[in-house]
């Protein structure tokens, strides 16, 4: 509708330029201002119909434009110029204003009333026409108003139905988002309960290997709970901020490993991870860091223990995750037999459909690459 209004205004304004070229040069400026004001007011209505941006500013501009048109018209009429009666574009302008109005029907009606009054004012007071000619001119004016008004009403009703459907759809989407967030919140609470129960049970277990298994299970559950927490606290339910998740995960793991002073270095910009990949990726990070904390360092190592996490994402949505430590390294044969390594490989291949590399130089590290789509 804004496009129709713009085209109508441009055509009308060009036609008016030819009109004002035929009048005396001393009257050129008021004629130009008059037509510019009408065109600008009509275009403003079209812009508001398309998008209600800068609503107050444009509405003010529309009313000022038509007020200027009225004042200039009175001035020109006092000079004896009844130019507007002889211009047939008035019918086109009335139609364009109504059609371009969209939902702004009140503003369009006011604009057309002003133009009608200008037309009738010139016709009655300053135009030497016969009664029959005046009747037909008024009949054309009435017909243009009636046809345009009917079209505008139909358009207004159609837009209102569309807007109502859009509002209902937005409300339904918001309700579903609230329900999903509540679901993730409850899952996170249930995971906390399971983690708490396992923690209580681990205190009753005397076997060290069993305690280690329970401790690993607790940490895995907590990492999953963190992901669900990030989901229901985020604005977007499709993605989570991976850097925020890493910071939260590391804080949790540091609390569990209070006896070890490890420096963590995270090189990660504000990368968003899709929801379907967040859980397996979080479990992989948790398992890699857990292995480093438990196996990479020993009490005889005098150097500062450090774990580095580097994450980057290219333009093709390929994510590269690199995690390495400066520990003593790990025996690969022993590593491949462990449950943690098998879990990492399984999640990397089958869940993320990515590639996993590992190196054992100046410590141990992993490089995971996968498409986050």
**Mean pLDDT of the region 348-367:** 89
Q: Do the Cβ atoms of 211 and 184 come closer than 8 Å?
A: no
- The rounded distance, in Å, linking the Cα atoms of 91 and 115 is 10
Single out the residue in 89, 112, 128 at which a domain terminates.
128
Task: Report the helix count and the strand count for the chain, using DSSP H and E.
Answer: 11, 7
Q: Do the Cβ atoms of 63 and 108 come closer than 8 Å?
A: no
pLDDT at 193: 87
Q: Do the Cβ atoms of 372 and 274 come closer than 8 Å?
A: yes
CB-based contacts of 99: which residues, under 8 Å, 6+ apart?
1, 4, 5, 148, 151, 152, 155
* DSSP class per residue in 275-318: HHHHHHHHHHHHHHHHHIIIII--TT--SPEEEEEEEEE-TT-E
Residue 71 belongs to a domain:
yes
Same domain, 373 and 244: yes
The pairing of strands 305-313 and 262-268 is: parallel
How large is the greatest C-alpha to C-alpha distance in the chain, in angstroms?
114
Single out the residue in 106, 128, 150 at which a domain terminates.
128
Single out the residue in 88, 113, 128 at which a domain terminates.
128
For residue 357, pLDDT over 80 is answered with yes
Question: What pLDDT digit, counting tens, does each position of 285-299 carry?
Answer: 988 888 888 777 776
Q: Do the Cβ atoms of 296 and 275 come closer than 8 Å?
A: no
Chain CA centroid to CA 250, Å: 31
For residue 84, pLDDT over 50 is answered with no
Residue 195 belongs to a domain:
no
Residue 258 belongs to a domain:
yes
Same domain, 124 and 246: no
The angle, 0 to 180 degrees and rounded to 10, between the axes of the packed helices 28-50 and 2-21 is 170
**Mean pLDDT of the region 312-319:** 86
Number of domains comprising the chain: 2
Q: Do the Cβ atoms of 87 and 98 come closer than 8 Å?
A: no
pLDDT at 14: 65
CB-based contacts of 15: which residues, under 8 Å, 6+ apart?
87, 89
Domain coverage including residue 60: 2-128
Question: What pLDDT digit, counting tens, does each position of 258-284 carry?
Answer: 667 788 888 888 888 888 888 888 889
Q: Do the Cβ atoms of 184 and 228 come closer than 8 Å?
A: yes
Residue 288 belongs to a domain:
yes
Same domain, 244 and 370: yes
- Answer with the residue of higher pLDDT: 353 or 176: 353
Residue 161 belongs to a domain:
no
Residue 347 belongs to a domain:
yes
């Amino acid at each position: 509708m804004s496009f129709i209004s713009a085209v109508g205004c441009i055509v009308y304004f060009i036609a008016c330029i030819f009109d004002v070229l035929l009048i005396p040069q001393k009257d050129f400026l008021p004629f130009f201002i008059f037509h510019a004001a009408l065109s600008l007011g009509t275009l403003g209505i079209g812009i508001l119909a398309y998008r209600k941006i800068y609503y107050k500013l444009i509405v003010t501009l529309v009313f000022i434009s038509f007020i200027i048109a009225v004042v200039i018209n009175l001035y020109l009429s006092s000079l004896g110029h009844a130019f507007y009666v002889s211009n047939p574009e008035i019918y086109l302008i009335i139609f364009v204003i109504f059609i371009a109005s969209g939902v702004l029907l009140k503003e369009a009606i006011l604009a057309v009333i002003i133009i009608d009054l200008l037309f009738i004012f010139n016709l009655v007071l300053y135009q030497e026409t016969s009664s029959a000619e005046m009747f037909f001119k008024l009949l054309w004016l009435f017909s243009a108003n009636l046809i345009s008004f009917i079209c505008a009403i139909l358009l207004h009703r159609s837009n209102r139905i569309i807007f109502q459907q859009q509002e209902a759809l937005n409300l339904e989407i918001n309700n579903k988002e609230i329900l999903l967030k509540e679901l993730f919140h409850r899952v996170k609470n249930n995971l906390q309960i399971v983690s708490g129960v396992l923690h209580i049970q681990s205190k009753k277990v005397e076997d060290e290997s069993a305690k280690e298994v329970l401790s690993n299970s607790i940490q895995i559950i907590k990492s999953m709970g963190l992901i669900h927490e990030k989901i229901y606290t985020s604005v977007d339910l499709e993605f989570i901020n991976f850097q925020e998740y890493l910071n939260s995960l590391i804080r949790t793991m540091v609390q569990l490993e209070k006896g070890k002073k490890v420096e963590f270095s995270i090189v990660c910009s504000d990368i968003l991870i899709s929801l379907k990949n967040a859980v397996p990726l979080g479990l992989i990070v948790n398992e890699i860091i857990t292995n480093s904390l438990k196996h990479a360092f020993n009490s005889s190592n005098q150097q500062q223990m450090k774990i580095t996490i580097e994450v980057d994402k290219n333009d093709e949505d390929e994510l590269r995750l690199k995690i390495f430590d400066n520990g003593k390294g790990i025996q690969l044969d022993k590593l491949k037999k462990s449950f943690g390594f098998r879990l990492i490989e399984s999640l990397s291949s089958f869940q993320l459909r990515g590639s996993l590399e590992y190196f054992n130089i100046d410590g141990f590290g992993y490089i995971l690459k996968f498409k986050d789509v």
